[in-house]
Amino acid sequence: MKDKTYFPKIDPSVSRRDEIYLWILARGLDRIRGAASQGDHRHCEIEADHLHNIPSYIACGDSANHLYYLTKEVPFYLQQIDLKNEGNQWLLGWYISVWQELEGLIPIDGSPWAEEWRVMKSGGWNYGQNLT
């Protein structure tokens, strides 16, 4: 996860959660650039939709809203992405590892999505690992 290409020197005031969001944003933008160069406009749209709220999660003071990303946005993204595409499979492998880490950094209690999240996890939700 500590990829020197993106953030060689992390400011100590940046929280680990924000660092992960920045990493997701950087990887996703790289994937958009790659998909665009291949003329894959559909994936550009899917990836942009996945990333568009990330800046607000970094800047947002309401930690209860962070669970929305894992409960709503990640599953929606996984429904949209073409898992037969090798670049998407590669990206998904990276995303899964940071989504799992992010889960431990996001407060569940007090979130409007806490109950839905607990139901997902008790039902075996694993960030789409069984999809690839």
pLDDT score of 132: 46
Helix, strand, coil % in the chain, rounded to nearest 5: 65, 0, 35
Question: Measuring CA to CA, which residue among 12, 21, 47, 49 is closest to residue 32?
Answer: 47
- Residue spans of the domains in the chain: they are 16-122
Q: What's the pLDDT score for residue 11?
A: 60
CA distance 102 to 17: 6
The residues near 125 (Cβ < 8 Å, ≥ 6 apart) are 75
Taking a C-beta distance cutoff of 8 angstroms, is the pair 1, 102 a contact? no
DSSP state at residue 88: H
Per-residue pLDDT of the chain (132 residues; tens, 9 = 90+): 445 455 555 566 568 899 999 999 999 999 999 999 999 999 999 999 999 999 999 887 677 788 999 999 999 999 999 888 887 888 888 899 999 999 998 889 888 999 999 999 999 998 877 544
pTM of this prediction? 0.83
Task: Report which of 102, 93, 88 is spatially closest to residue 129, judged by C-alpha positions.
Answer: 93
Rg (CA), the chain: 15
Residue 75 has a CB neighbour count (10 Å cut-off) of 14
- Give me the residue label for tokens 């839905």: 116
In the prediction, which pLDDT does 4 show?
46
Contact call for residues 106 and 67 (beta carbons, < 8 A): yes
Burial class of 70 by CB neighbour count within 10 A (0 to 12, 13 to 18, 19+): buried
Question: How confident is the model at residue 72, as a pLDDT?
Answer: 94
